[in-house]
Structure 1
Amino acid sequence: MAYGEWPSPIDAATAAAHDGSPEFVGFVGDEVWWTEPRPAEAGRRGLVRRHADGTEESVLPAPWNVRSRVVEYGGRPWAGTVRGGVPLVVFVDFADQRLHRYEPGGEPRPLTPVSPVGQGLRWAEPVLLPERGEVWCVLEEFTGDGPGDVRRVLAAVPLDGSAAGDRGAVRELSDGRHRFVTGPRLAPDGRRAAWLGWDHPRMPWDGTELLVADVAADGTLRDARTVAGGPEESVAQVDWTPDGRLLYASDRTGWWNLYRDGTPVCPREEEFGGPLWKLGLRWFAPLDGGLIAVLHGRGAPVLGVLDPETCEVVDAAGPWSEFAPTLAAHGERVVAVGAGPRGSHEVVELDTRTGHARVIGARHEDAVDPAYYPEPRARTFTGPDGREIHAQIFPPRNPGCTGPADERPPYVIRAHGGPTGRAPLVLDLEIAYFTSRGIGVAEVDYGGSTGYGREYRNRLRGQWGVVDVEDCAAVALALADEGTADRDRLAVRGGSAGGWTAAASLTTTDVYACGTIGYPVLDLTGWGSGETHDFESQYLESLIGPRAEVPGRYTERSPVTHADRLTVPFLMLQGLDDVICPPAQCERFLARLAGRGVPHAYLAFEGEGHGFRRAETMVRALEAELSLYAQVFGARPPGVPTLELGT
């Protein structure tokens, strides 16, 4: 049967219903809580409680949406403890970004005020301190209407609600010396606090500072000093061991490794940390007995338990080949979120006394026969100048179909976002949506991706739009040359920074027959001068080069500059509420393309921001993408609405 026409039980609605994963796991007393997506409920994130008897409860009904907008990508939005045998939880609601207090049986009550200035007050990484009657957290405060009119400090919010209408009742803990800060981590004796800070133009994976301050009796932070980190050293996470020693992950050797009071714990050429895209990500968690739960590895991070005295790491056994950077520990128990090629992300508990790991939440259930899932494999390709390129290959797979013997399948080359990120080798029904129909997928960890050390990550410095484009093309052409893919039926797609790579690939190479460009960066000159949010507003200083020194490079690299070179069909997807890559970028690109006769479609979605969360949006986008490929590759997939391509 023709590639692209294989009948599949994985429709777009099934893929959309299983999009997203649990996040921000934590303990409330002995119970495990976490957030998880609700695509069918306008894309909100719910807060889930796992009771002692194993039953799960969605704690807050719609429309409560437990999600912070700090640095736009967000951060840990909740914290909990037990008082008098009853859970006490604080959380951020996405709609108003206020911090709320919640106790089961009651209604959430706001703890913070609404600001009339700019985009308001935002909160992340709360730490509950009932003995002080406060919540300590990160405060992001807008001081004007511009995206750069913002300050960030550590702050203490009264638990009694007295700050709900009074900004003056919020007590600031830090002095604002850094543009960005992470939440405070308190030493076990409560006498010291540690956090991370950094400033423009650095991103947190370029360089951060680890600060420690003394906590005075009146709850103020005094004598803040930098104890690690710097402009070329990224400290990704900090915490305290139960005996009060400072534990952190630094890449000072070129790999994120662990340090305890400044001394290396287990030096290895692998990662024990990662890029801090959201505040509150956790790659390690100290245990009461002196061991440390860690995520570690090259490429995919796996869950293990590290003995810091012997450097021995024992990995958790199970079907999970990759874990997300959200760990929590309680006594000798560890909770994480893991997934694998045959299963989606699940909440996993590891008992470090027995070594037994089990699923305790968001359990994967096969939506269809697993025979329709792809069987991916990690591969390493050779790129320009002999450099290694890591990629995940998902060949077509369908138990009832094979392609024509004299043909090779079409392939979609996917560029991940970030660009400082990586593509996980896990079950993704969006990918299976294509592979089960006879279209292969390759996810490329191009130069600049994380998981392979700082040298690999730094390949993209000054080379965004070059190295990423070259690496994706090298993988695509290698698959064609070895007979895995059809050279004439290659597509490229990506979202956010991946949308940039897709657009740059279509305007500067002749490798692809079509492409999908999702919520992209297209015009560096506009994006870097006020069209994006504060967190990434100077990201281009490292990705492209200092604007003051290479201003012409910003124009020359931009896909909008070369829109006239685009000759193949494409689909463009955009959220109209996106403040990271705003619709103006797409509109400017399409205006440059007008009248050139290039078949394309532009789908813009109300109520969607940077990345899609609503089920109906994901269904429309996925079906449109398949229809584009089918039209270009000469296939007629059954049951898929035809995307109308205009010129």
Structure 2
Amino acid sequence: MVRTQSYGAWTSPVDAALAASHDGRPEYTGHVGDEVWWTEPRPTEGGRRALVRRRADGTEESVLPAPWNVRSRVIEYGGLPWAGAGRDGESGPLIVFVHYADQRLYAYEPDVPGAEPRPLTPVSDVGGGLRWADPQLLPERGEVWCVLEEFTGEGPTDVRRVVAAVPLDGSAAEDRGAVRELSDGRHRFVTGPRPSPDGRRAAWIAWDHPHMPWDGTELILADVTDEGTFGEQRTAAGGPTESIAQVEWAADGSLLYASDRTGWWNLYRADQRRGTEPLCVRDEEFAGALWRIGQRWFAPLDNGLIAVVHGVGATALAVLDPETGELVDTAGPWTEWSPALSVHGSRVVSVAASPRSAYEVVELDTAVGRARVIGAEHDDPVDPAYYPEPLIRTFEGPDGREIHAHIYPPHHPGHRAPDGELPPFVVWAHGGPTGRAPLVLDLEIAYFTSRGIGVAEVNYGGSTGYGRAYRERLREQWGVVDVEDCASVARALADEGTADRDRLAIRGGSAGGWTAAASIATTDLYACGTVIYPILDLTGWATGETHDFESEYLHSLIGPIDAVPGRYRDRSPVEHADRITAPFLLLQGLDDVICPPAQCERFLARMAGRNVPHAYIAFEGEGHGFRRADTMIRALESELSLYAQVFGLKAAGVPTLELTK
């Protein structure tokens, strides 16, 4: 029986604890012999990342107990934190991994009785210490080749990065001098090296401030000597206006890479016989923004075919024949594939999700063309009838520009609203801002839609997945285009009668937190906002209040600070606290080094005495992106309470958020 009840008052089995327990996704898949391994979140175990092993018989096990946490902090967003190699005999596989707590690289032989992880790298007490990512295990050389991030001082930008070789015998565990530096150190940022099939060459990607990796990067090549050193390091492709996102070697020794030189990340092949040639020219993305070192959107197979993740907006896994350009998509329900490809023989493994399933580890057998879930299998925690039903929409923004969005109307199998009542809607602004909202099942969205609150995820101008021109709409326009695009979607939903114009909210985290804060500071469209670990003061953020990776990001998003200092002030919400009249919730991790709590504290000082209802919740032990179940529960319930109070909803079962003035 369907019950008639006002929006926001619907009872739902999707509670905050359920949403928190299903937050996060498997990442960094890889093959160790015939086995598939990956990392997986553990929100109820302090938010650690577990290393999971799928044995040949299909059983899964966590390789390391708590508190081992397989996660790198290189460039703060991290990257590939482990590598493994299968070995014959009783000793079993050899694994190397980064432990989050001390950022040391460890070696581990899980099948050796009584074996414990042993450190391979030393600890440094200078600044952020020594950090490692994107390891390439080379047992034949007795080394691990990887990215070394080394702090040289106490400041967040006192750091250097090089390609380095770490000995597997443990001789560098207490001796920094035993780590061999392979690259020449002339670039600020590097990815891990990819050795050619014959071991005679290495390739990697590098870039420098003020460019971000989606602005301009270089593909670096070097010969490898018999002693394992690198010869002359030369730029083979790329430049300040060309983003090369990934490089790999094919089995025949040709070099494969993804470049956006045409305005879309497409695949290219380079070898001495054929020169450089595109493999599949399409107005689609075959790569993405390199936020984490070691992401893989494509992977060459031994038979010459290439597994690729591609698409516009949504993505698909396909097999590309580089000789003909033929592209065959994988059959299945998945609408989002992560850049986590790994290949072994004819098998391709990645992580995929859909609007009806969370992220799972999926294997494609290219020999038969069949895909199946092999790990972290989605198991409906509630009746799928409570899941939101997304609508893929394109809206018109200022100057007629297209704005892509996913609209999730309120949805509940046992409730409907009274005739004539329009639902409240929350506009979600994704992070990045060079990012994208994927089309996948998200129980945080279901938490709201199953209670009668709609959600609109906006892939505003600046988002990835729609080509370089769409991405660069945000160049020097951050705080303008993103705010306008979110507002255009909200107004369109109200104009067409999908949303209640008087009950609109905006929320976002990180760069999305900036957009949310800028929106309530510069428009009167929203009744309230939820602002999560945000950027609020551009001048402070550009002059030492963030980490090295993004320390000059605003050069492209806002403009050079020396040239346009007024623009930094004019767009910062902290400078316009006097304009804010909408109630808001501010959520912040106290260990956040990307968007530090100082930004929130400065903003709140400006809000003091203004009689605007608000709440500030700061979480001990949380950084940029909440990982602990108890944190996520409190954050979600507080957000719902804010909407209930501002929109006049009868949301039962959640603690009342205390709003101060």
TM-score (norm 2): 0.98
- The question of 1:216 aligning with 2:220 is answered no
- Establish whether residue 202 from structure 1 lines up as the match of residue 215 from structure 2: no
For the residues of structure 2 that align with 1:555 and 1:166, how far apart are their CA atoms?
47
Alpha-carbon displacement from aligned partner over 1:103-134 (angstroms, at most 9, x marks no partner) = 01411000000001111000000011111110
Is structure 2 residue 542 aligned with structure 1 residue 528?
yes
1:176 equivalenced with 2:185 (yes/no): yes
Matched residue type, 2:311: G
SS of 2:478's equivalent?
coil
Shift of 1:500: 0.1
* 2:543 match: secondary structure: helix
Q: Distance in 2 between matches of 1:454 and 1:319?
A: 28
The aligned residue for residue 74 of structure 2 is 70
Tell me what 1:31 maps to. 35
Residue 561 of structure 1 corresponds to 575
Deviation at 1:561, TM superposition (A): 0.5
Match of 2:655 in 1: 641
Q: Aligned partner of 1:42: which letter?
A: G
Q: C-alpha deviations, 1:612-645, integer Å up to 9, x for none?
A: 0000000000000000001111011111111010
Aligned length: 647
Instruction: Report the counterpart of residue 98 of structure 2 in structure 1.
Output: 92
Q: Residue deviations 1:67-110, cap 9 Å, x none?
A: 00000000100000012341100000000000000101411000
Q: Distance in 1 between matches of 2:322 and 2:197?
A: 19
Q: Does 1:327 align with 2:348?
A: no
Mapped to 1, the partners of 2:340 and 2:88 lie a distance apart of: 28
2:315 and 2:148 mapped to 1: Cα distance? 30
Task: Indicate the residue corresponding to 2:478 in structure 1.
Answer: 464
Q: Indicate the larger mover: 303-312 or 364-373.
A: 303-312
SS at match of 2:245: strand
The one-letter amino acid of 1:38's match is R
Identical aligned residues as a percent? 77
**How does 1:286-435 map onto structure 2 within 5 Å?**
286-435=300-449
Aligned to 2:53, what secondary structure does the other structure show? strand
What is the CA-CA distance between 1:17 and the residue it aligns to?
Answer: 0.2
State the Cα distance separating 1:423 from its structure 2 match: 0.1
1:31 Cα deviation from its structure 2 partner: 0.4
1:101 counterpart residue number? 107
Q: 2:457 is matched with which residue: 416, 434, 443? A: 443
Alignment of 1:53 with 2:57, yes or no, is yes
> Within 5 A, what are the aligned runs for 1:540-579?
540-579=554-593
Q: Which amino acid aligns with 1:307?
A: D
- In 2, Cα distance between the equivalents of 1:613 and 1:499? 17
- Residue identity opposite 1:240 in structure 2: W
Structure 1 distance, partners of 2:422, 2:324, is: 51
Deviation at 1:309, TM superposition (A): 1.4
Please give the alpha-carbon distance, in whole angstroms, between the structure 2 residues aligned to 1:423 and 1:490: 19
Alignment of 1:81 with 2:85, yes or no, is yes
Alpha-carbon distance between aligned partners in 1 of 2:628 and 2:654, rounded to the nearest angstrom: 19
Matched residue, 2:273: none
Unaligned runs of 5+ in 2: 271-275
1:310 to partner: Cα distance: 1.5
Q: Distance in 2 between matches of 1:166 and 1:560?
A: 46
Distance (Å, rounded) in 1 between the aligned partners of 2:431 and 2:316:
21
Counterpart amino acid of residue 9 in structure 1: P
- State whether structure 2 residue 17 is matched by structure 1 residue 13: yes
1:459-492 deviation per Cα after TM superposition (whole angstroms, max 9, x unaligned):
0000000000000000000000001000000000
Aligned equivalents of 2:125, 2:49: Cα separation in 1:
26
Tell me the distance in 2 between the aligned counterparts of 1:378 and 1:187: 42
Please list the CA deviations of residues 176-212 of structure 1 after superposition, one character each: whole Å capped at 9, or x if unmatched.
0100000000110000000000000000000000001
- Matched to 1:407, the amino acid is E
Once the two structures are superposed, what CA deviation does each residue of 1:397-423 show, in whole Å capped at 9, x if it has no partner?
100001111111000000000000000
Is 2:585–2:639's contact at 8 Å kept on the other side of the alignment?
yes
Give deviations 1:429-484, integer Å, cap 9, x for gaps: 00000000000000000000000000000000000000000000000000000010
**2:601 maps to which residue?**
587
Supply the AA of the counterpart residue of 1:555.
Answer: R
1:308-331 Cα deviation digits (max 9, x unpaired) = 111111111111111111101111
Matched, 1:491 2:525: no
Which residue identity lines up with residue 657 of structure 2 in the other structure?
L
The residue identity in structure 2 corresponding to 1:102 is: Y
Match for 2:365: what amino acid?
Answer: D
1:22 maps to which residue?
A: 26
Amino acid at match of 1:547: I
Letter in 1 for 2:198: D
Question: How far did 1:566 drift?
Answer: 0.5
2: CA distance, partners of 1:325 / 1:401:
39
2:165 corresponds to 1:156: yes
Cα distance in structure 2, aligned partners of 1:446 and 1:185:
35
1:479 to 487, 493, 503: 493
Runs of 4+ in 1 over 4 A off after TM superposition: none
Rounded to whole Å, the distance in 1 between the matches of 2:125 and 2:502 is: 55
- Alpha-carbon distance in structure 2 between the residues aligned to 1:173 and 1:27: 26
Measured after TM superposition, the shift of residue 546 of structure 1 is 1.0
**Per-residue Cα deviation, 1:341-375 (whole angstroms, up to 9, x for no partner):** 00000000000010000000000000001000001
**Corresponding position of 1:232:** 241
Contact 2:30-2:38 at 8 Å conserved across structures: yes
Q: TM-score, normalised by structure 1?
A: 1.00
User: Aligned with 2:487: secondary structure?
Assistant: helix
RMSD of equivalent CA atoms: 0.5
Q: For residue 641 of structure 1, what is the amino acid of its counterpart? A: P
Q: What amino acid is aligned across from residue 394 of structure 1 in structure 2?
A: Y
Q: Distance in 1 between the 2:103 and 2:290 partners?
A: 21
Distance in 2 of aligned mates of 1:196 and 1:517: 35
Structure 1 CA distance for aligned equivalents of residues 254 and 392 of structure 2: 38
Match of 2:519 in 1: 505
Q: Distance in 2 between matches of 1:162 and 1:636?
A: 63
SS in 1 for 2:416: coil
Query: How far apart are the structure 2 equivalents of 1:576 and 1:564?
Result: 26
Name the SS of the counterpart of 2:392 in structure 1.
strand
SS at match of 1:271: coil
Inter-partner Cα distance in structure 2 for 1:18 and 1:541: 37
Instruction: Note the alpha carbon deviations across 1:139-167, whole angstroms, 9 max, x for none.
Output: 00000000010000000001010100000
The 3-state SS of whatever aligns with 1:45 is strand
Letter in 1 for 2:354: G
**Which amino acid in structure 2 is aligned with residue 79 of structure 1?**
A
Q: Distance in 1 between matches of 2:392 and 2:105?
A: 42
| Contact 2:589–2:620 (CA under 8 A) maintained in structure 1 | yes
Give the secondary structure class of the aligned counterpart of 1:531. Answer: coil
